[in-house]
Amino acid sequence: MGLNNQWMQRDLAVLWHPCTQMKDHEQLPLIPIKRGEGVWLEDFEGKRYLDAVSSWWVNVFGHANPRINQRIKDQVDQLEHVILAGFSHQPVIELSERLVKMTPEGLTRCFYADNGSSCIEVSMKMSFHYWINRGRPDKKRFVTLSNSYHGETIAAMSVGDVPLFTETYKALLLDTIKVPSPDCYHRPEGMGWEEHSRNMFAAMEQTLAEHHDTVAAVIVEPLIQGAGGMRMYHPVYLKLLREACDRYGVHLIHDEIAVGFGRTGTMFACEQAGITPDFLCLSKALTGGYLPLAACVTTDEVYSAFYDDYPTLRAFLHSHSYTGNPLACAAALATLDIFEEDNVIENNQALAQRMASATAHLADHPNVAEVRQTGMVLAIEMVKDKASKTAYPWQERRGLAVFQHALERGALLRPLGSVVYFLPPYVITPEQIDFLAEVASEGIDIATRDKVSVAVPKDFHPGFRDPG
């Protein structure tokens, strides 16, 4: 028995993995990873895998980055953790100062959580509580876009709309208002992204006109709907939404957990619309992919609604044990140093262009409906019929064939259903991008062959999307 198999058997005896049907691993080998370096992950038998999905979209400057490593090592010898209620520490103060300075004007206060879903819950509770403190307890509903995803805790699921993640838990979820997404995959033939996104705003305008008296906030994934299949839209939608939220007196929450820190081509996606949300939710790449940390950055207007004498009970009494953890803040500070010192955003422009050119040929593939891109995120949508954009039944798990082929070739490509995507660390080279394009092209050829390896129950949850 090889080392990989030994570790796999020990794992399967005790672990329950996330977003996984564990029975799959009766046939699909689990890959135990021993070490990482740059874009590479290495298993216990020495095989390497290029991490094309940044280990669930968190890693921006490579595994075992020496600059981030050193900052954490220095911090661990000084202070590993301290309660953030009534106490503070240097890394969290410095990180907050830098986030306020680098985020859009008007965002002045940082509230920390442990992860992305928790950060969404913070923003929702904060908005709801704000309206109570301002004498508007009737404003308690949230508006969200169809096909959206904001996390897997209860409130975060409530503002999501990917059935695979929410359908089972419907009875637990909040009553939210869903508006059709501006997703440009569905635009009419011949129509550009901007025109389609403008047209799709009509539904949001009508919803706010009718319901603003009971709505606390609108929450969106700006520019890219990640878990919904890397669906994308034009920044004009965000500009129109900011204007409408101002007119109707509704908060705007930007979930930039996945798309912040350079993924869309600018440091934050909201910059491309020239707007400031009322709440900016950040996580994932915030610590370079090292440690869990999230920041909900908000305005003085929101902060002031909670600032009062204690007996008024206006305080935001929300907490996490590891809020503002010094080690995570140290990793975040090192990550921000790299952004500042290495001209990352500018350098990414050339990498994004290489991703586009390396995959351009796939636009002509008979089973590819679209190759779309926003900054350092590129997605390739496989379909059963190109002309009508008829999707493959999710039960066929076409993306799984791409995933398995990529592992054989030495790449970690984990599709979202039938959507193959590149979301790599920013330290990837042009040659490594070419390699990924080659592997993806081969995998798509294999995955779109007529024969499928699983039986497809046609009447079972036809609207679900397999996460791959």
* Alpha carbons 265 and 346: distance in angstroms, whole number: 9
Is 283 within any annotated ligand binding site? Answer: no
Q: How many CB atoms lie within 10 A of CB 155?
A: 23
The pLDDT of residue 463 is 40
Is 16 within any annotated ligand binding site? Answer: no
**Cα 224–148–320 angle (5° rounding)?**
100
* Alpha carbons 435 and 441: distance in angstroms, whole number: 10
- Residues 83 and 172 placed together within one structural domain of the fold: yes
Which residues 6+ apart lie within 8 Å of 312 measured at CB?
Answer: none
- Give DSSP secondary structure letters for 337-370: HHHHHTTHHHHHHHHHHHHHHHHGGGGG-TTEEE
List the beta bridge partners of residue 43: 33
- Give DSSP secondary structure letters for 308-341: S-GGG--S-----TTTT-HHHHHHHHHHHHHHHH
- Residues 187 and 326 placed together within one structural domain of the fold: yes
In a domain, 7, yes or no: no
Is 354 within any annotated ligand binding site? Answer: no
* Alpha carbons 427 and 459: distance in angstroms, whole number: 44
- Residues 178 and 292 placed together within one structural domain of the fold: yes
Phi, psi of 227 (to 5 degrees): -65, -15
- Residues 210 and 99 placed together within one structural domain of the fold: yes
Query: Which residue do the tokens 């305005």 mark?
Result: 299
* 3-class DSSP assignment, residue 281: strand
- Residues 400 and 253 placed together within one structural domain of the fold: no
* Alpha carbons 273 and 235: distance in angstroms, whole number: 5
289, 334 Cβ separation under 8 angstroms: no
Is 441 within any annotated ligand binding site? Answer: no
Phi, psi of 275 (to 5 degrees): -125, 170
Burial of 135 (0-12, 13-18, 19+ CB in 10 A): exposed
In a domain, 246, yes or no: yes
* Alpha carbons 60 and 287: distance in angstroms, whole number: 9
* Alpha carbons 93 and 110: distance in angstroms, whole number: 10
Which residues 6+ apart lie within 8 Å of 214 measured at CB?
Answer: 138, 139, 140, 141
Q: How many domains does the chain have?
A: 2
Is 321 within any annotated ligand binding site? Answer: yes
Q: How many CB atoms lie within 10 A of CB 242?
A: 20
The pLDDT of residue 1 is 79
- Residues 242 and 257 placed together within one structural domain of the fold: yes
The pLDDT of residue 86 is 97
- Residues 318 and 375 placed together within one structural domain of the fold: no
In a domain, 21, yes or no: no
Is 40 within any annotated ligand binding site? Answer: no
- Residues 170 and 281 placed together within one structural domain of the fold: yes
Is 181 within any annotated ligand binding site? Answer: no
Is 36 within any annotated ligand binding site? Answer: no
The pLDDT of residue 236 is 98
Report the CATH number at residue 105.
Answer: 3.40.640.10
In a domain, 227, yes or no: yes
From 342, 375, 404, give the residue that closes a domain: 342
* Alpha carbons 454 and 464: distance in angstroms, whole number: 16
293, 325 Cβ separation under 8 angstroms: yes
Q: Which domain holds residue 429?
A: 31-64+344-448
In a domain, 403, yes or no: yes
Phi, psi of 278 (to 5 degrees): -80, -25
- Residues 311 and 373 placed together within one structural domain of the fold: no
Report the CATH number at residue 357.
Answer: 3.90.1150.10
The pLDDT of residue 451 is 62
The pLDDT of residue 37 is 98
Give alpha helix (H) positions in 169-325.
193-211, 236-248, 300-304
- Residues 43 and 125 placed together within one structural domain of the fold: no
Report the amino acid identity of residue 78: Q
Is 414 within any annotated ligand binding site? Answer: yes
From 342, 374, 400, give the residue that closes a domain: 342
- Residues 60 and 179 placed together within one structural domain of the fold: no
Query: Which residue do the tokens 């950040």 mark?
Result: 282
Report the amino acid identity of residue 167: E
State pTM to two decimals: 0.95
In a domain, 284, yes or no: yes
Is 310 within any annotated ligand binding site? Answer: no
Query: Which residue do the tokens 């939404």 mark?
Result: 241
In a domain, 108, yes or no: yes
Per-residue pLDDT tens listing for the chain (468 residues)? 799 999 999 999 999 999 999 999 999 999 999 999 999 999 999 999 999 999 999 999 999 999 999 999 999 999 999 999 999 999 999 999 999 999 999 999 999 999 999 999 999 999 999 999 999 999 999 999 999 999 999 999 999 999 989 999 999 999 999 999 999 999 999 999 999 999 999 999 999 999 999 999 999 999 999 999 999 999 999 999 999 999 999 999 999 999 999 999 999 999 999 999 999 999 999 999 999 999 999 999 999 999 999 999 999 999 999 999 999 999 999 999 999 999 999 999 999 999 999 999 999 999 999 999 999 999 999 999 999 999 999 999 999 999 999 999 999 999 999 999 999 999 999 999 999 999 999 999 999 997 655 443 444 333 434 433
- Residues 278 and 360 placed together within one structural domain of the fold: no
Phi, psi of 140 (to 5 degrees): -135, 5
Burial of 301 (0-12, 13-18, 19+ CB in 10 A): middle
* Pairing of β 48-51 and β 231-232: unpaired
In a domain, 14, yes or no: no
From 342, 370, 402, give the residue that closes a domain: 342
* 3-class DSSP assignment, residue 171: helix
In the DSSP assignment, the letter for residue 266 is: S
* Alpha carbons 449 and 65: distance in angstroms, whole number: 40
